[in-house]
Amino acid sequence: MAKPRVFVSSTYYDLKHVRSSLDLFIESLGFEPVLSEKGNIAYTPDTPLDDSCYREAATADIFVIIIGGRYGTEASSKRKTPNRTFFDRYESITKKEYESALDRDIPVYVLVESNVYSEYQTYLRNKDNQNITYAHVDSVNVFRLIEEILSKPRNNPTHTFERFAEIESWLRDQWAGFFRELLQKQSQQQQLSTLGAQVSELKAVNETLRKYLEAVMTGITPDDSNRLIESEQRRLHELERNERIKENRWCRHVTRRTDVSFDTFIAAMREATSFLDFTKRIAGKETADNRQSLLFHILQSNESARRDFNDVRKLLELKPLRLRKSEVPSTEEPGSVP
């Protein structure tokens, strides 16, 4: 099962003990930590080393940046200048990693050493004073990075720390709250989906009532009245059936993971003579994207998917389908697609 990947960004030598503890903490949660010193980053020989770090930061699920007293090595994309002074501006690898994650809107968590944050308050009052000496940072760019992060309108939760236990407690609470919010959003989406179905049903009933009222007002004959009632009953039944099909897990999977419409899905269901035939009808003539193979593999290897498939067939008043001998996976190659 895929694990959430947590990218840890910071300078190394001054924060290596914090990074090591954070590595163990992330693993204890069942997540996958991504730290450069552990060899988690795949470097490519034809690009600068830090470009690979930016790529990994941009593909992580969670990004944690730790800001201490060192600003870090200059990014390779910039022309490096030796013997920089305290107030010289430049882009560090850590800052570029942060920007790579931010550009992809990855959830960011910011940790700042307490003494650095305290000195940052002094910097805010003395920005234009280059005669002041700072005790806890090696470059004014540390303060500029903090200022840039805090100026963001969102995605910048920040916490100061003196001991690692403070980091662990804060991140544990943050990630637990994030997970709870995701669950609530999922529940709300389900409630909205149910409400949408009820609204559609109510609109259909209102349309039927409108037709009945118009028929009464125009003096419809008894035969026409019976035909109208039967027609509207069939229409309401079909609408109710379609709503039930849309709630089916197999229908949701196919329509959400592919670009096929609900009508195309229903047509393929009605016309299919086998599971393989269904996936071919869904994929159409274009099978280069492996859509047909992926859908068939799910039906071939997953009994629950086949059961949901046949639930749709039942709602359409069609006979259930069974795996044909030619569709049964080989015992030598389980789950292979013929």
DSSP state, residue 37? G
Residue 178 domain-assigned (yes or no): no
Strand order in the sheet with 108-113: 32-34, 5-9, 62-67, 108-113, 158-161
Closest CA to 138 of 66, 80, 67, 81: 67
What are the residues facing 159 on neighbouring strands?
111
> Token match 């609530």: residue?
184
Asked if residue 252 and residue 157 are part of one domain, the reply reads no
Position 304 in a domain:
yes
pLDDT of residue 1: 57
pLDDT of residue 217: 52
41 and 156 in a single domain? The answer is yes
Q: Are 215 and 228 in contact (CB under 8 A)?
A: yes
Residue 172 domain-assigned (yes or no) = no
User: Are 10 and 128 in a shared domain?
Assistant: yes
* pLDDT, position 321: 92
Q: Residue 270 contacts by C-beta under 8 Å, 6 or more apart in sequence?
A: 316, 318
User: Is there a domain that residue 184 lies in?
Assistant: no
Cα separation, 137 vs 213, in Å, equals 80
DSSP state of 330: P
- The reply to whether 152 and 260 lie within a common domain is no
Check residue 287 and report its DSSP letter: -
pLDDT at position 311? 93
**Looking at the domain assignment, is residue 281 inside a domain?**
yes
Please list the rounded mean pLDDT of every run of 10 residues in the chain (338 residues): 87 94 94 87 79 90 96 79 80 94 94 96 90 91 96 95 95 92 74 63 65 60 69 77 88 84 91 90 61 80 89 92 78 40
Non-local (6+) Cβ contacts of 281 within 8 A are 267, 268, 271, 272
End of a domain among 132, 162, 192? 162
Both 114 and 253 in one domain: the answer is: no
Q: CA-based diameter of the chain, in Å?
A: 99
Residue among 59, 21, 61, 19 at smallest CA distance from 36? 19
Inside any domain, residue 191: no
150 & 263 share domain: no
| Per-residue tokens: 85 | 């002074």
Instruction: Return the bridge partners of 113, or none.
Output: 161
Q: What is the rounded distance in angstroms from the CA atom of residue 10 to the CA atom of residue 149?
A: 14
The pLDDT score that the predictor gives to residue 211 is: 65
Pick from 130, 162, 194: which residue ends a domain?
162
Whether 323 is covered by a domain: the verdict is yes
- Are residues 262 and 239 in contact, defined by beta-carbon separation less than 8 angstroms? no
Q: Which of 146, 162, 178 is the last residue of a domain?
A: 162
Within this chain, do residues 9 and 158 fall inside the same structural domain, yes or no? Answer: yes
Give the count of beta carbons closer than 10 Å to the beta carbon of residue 246. 17
Q: Which amino acid is at 289?
A: D
| CATH code (residue 98) | 3.40.50
Task: State how far the Cα of 209 lies from the Cα of 232, in Å rounded to an integer.
Answer: 9
Q: Residue 229 domain-assigned? A: no
> Interior CA angle at 16 toward 12 and 17, to 5°?
165
Pair 21, 164: CB distance under 8 Å = yes
Same domain, 40 and 154: yes
Those residues with Cβ within 8 angstroms of residue 62's Cβ, 6 or more apart along the chain or in another chain: 4, 5, 6, 7, 31, 106, 107, 109, 175
CA distance 86 to 11: 17
Residues 157, 20 within the same domain: yes
8 three-class SS? strand
Indicate whether this model's pTM tops 0.85: no
Gap between the Cα atoms of 14 and 18, Å rounded: 9
Residue 331, pLDDT score: 46
The total domain count for the chain is: 2
Whether residue 19 is found in the same domain as residue 145 = yes
**d(C-alpha 141, C-alpha 144), whole Å:** 5
Query: 152 and 39, same structural domain?
Result: yes
Domain hosting 274: range is 248-338
